[in-house]
Homo-oligomer: A and B are copies of this chain.
Amino acid sequence: MGLLVVGSIALDSIETPFDKVENALGGSSTYISLTASYFSGPIHLIGVVGKDFDEKYIKMFEEYEIDLEGLQIIPDGLTFRWGGKYHYDLNVRDTLFTDLNVFENFNPVIPDKMKKDSFVLLGNIHPSLQNHVLDQMTQPKFIVCDTMNLWINNEKDELLKVLKRVDVLIINDSEARLLTNEPNLIKAARMIREMGPEYLIIKKGEHGALLFYEDQVFSAPAYPMQDIFDPTGAGDSFAGGFTGYLHKHRDFDFENMKRAVVYGSAMASFCVEKFSTQGIEDLSTLKIHDRFLEFLELSRFEDDRKI
């Protein structure tokens, strides 16, 4: 059974203090599909691009054995374009432009063979589209959802409908506070889990991530990065690594969920090391596992001496 991935596919123009790039491959479903593909196939990508979408990107998806039957190519349209500029501390970014193009009327249609997928990863798109995707699925067993401040502010009712249907919500700390109007993340986490998702992941950027389930909390460390070249796609790469790992093992025990969070963090750490998708290309399971072990070493301590 496949992992269904829905989200944006974009051509990104990005400026950082280190370099800049134009019309590079981007979008949430791009990062998610590529990172998830290292764990287990098939990956079923649902998205839309225009006539200008370079054939080399299609080939690249195919090299990663990403099934493109659900990719709509609009012959008289242009691909979604996003331009952003990061500042010196890389935590703040300005959106320079957003040309939705074919993404504006995106209607995710799930091919018949993919409707039975048991794993669904709803990338950060309008919650009504997320609901529309779920409506088409016949037997979803494990649904992971991303969202953003735009939908929390403007489409909260629709978003709350999505949250009732998903197993995992992945969100960052400021979004968690915005969604609940509660500054304390532990309290905010409880409130969000009451909205529907059994598992909640709160990403904290350079401070790692928290996983919440029942009365358990897991704190994953952040990879110590001296040089972050391009933060674009880090959150999507996290979601792809997390869900890809679970898609491979089909084990939702808390111990395995912890590992999935660390694999997600590992994929995000690769992502930001290079521009666009370059950081998550040409990896290997060995390299990914080595990064996992670095996370382990970073946070491991033992209780082998009494106080």
B185 and A298 form a contact (CB under 8 A): no
Most B CB contacts (10 A, CB to CB) among A183, A206, A218, A301 go to A301
Having A218-B298, A219-B298, A256-B305, one finds 18 other A-B pairs with CB under 8 Å, namely A184-B226, A217-B224, A217-B298, A218-B301, A219-B222, A219-B299, A220-B299, A220-B301, A255-B302, A259-B301, A262-B301, A263-B307, A285-B306, A288-B307, A289-B306, A289-B307, A292-B303, A300-B300
B218 and A299 form a contact (CB under 8 A): yes
As a 0/1 sequence over residues 278 to 307 of chain A, the CB contacts with chain B under 8 angstroms (1 = contact) are: 000000010011001100101111110111
Which residue from B39, B187, B293, B298 sits with its C-beta under 8 Å from A303? B293
In the complex, A247 Cα to B228 Cα: how many Å?
A: 38
Q: Please classify how large the interface on chain A is, using the bins under 10, 10 to 19, 20 to 34, 35 or more.
A: 35 or more
Interchain residue pairs with CB less than 8 A apart (24): A89-B183, A185-B206, A185-B224, A186-B224, A186-B225, A186-B226, A207-B208, A218-B298, A218-B301, A219-B221, A219-B222, A219-B298, A219-B299, A220-B301, A221-B221, A245-B307, A256-B305, A259-B301, A259-B305, A263-B307, A285-B306, A285-B307, A288-B307, A289-B307
Chain B residue with minimal CB distance to A91?
B183
Question: Closest CB of chain B to A262's CB: distance in Å?
Answer: 6
A204 at the interface (CB under 8 A from B): yes
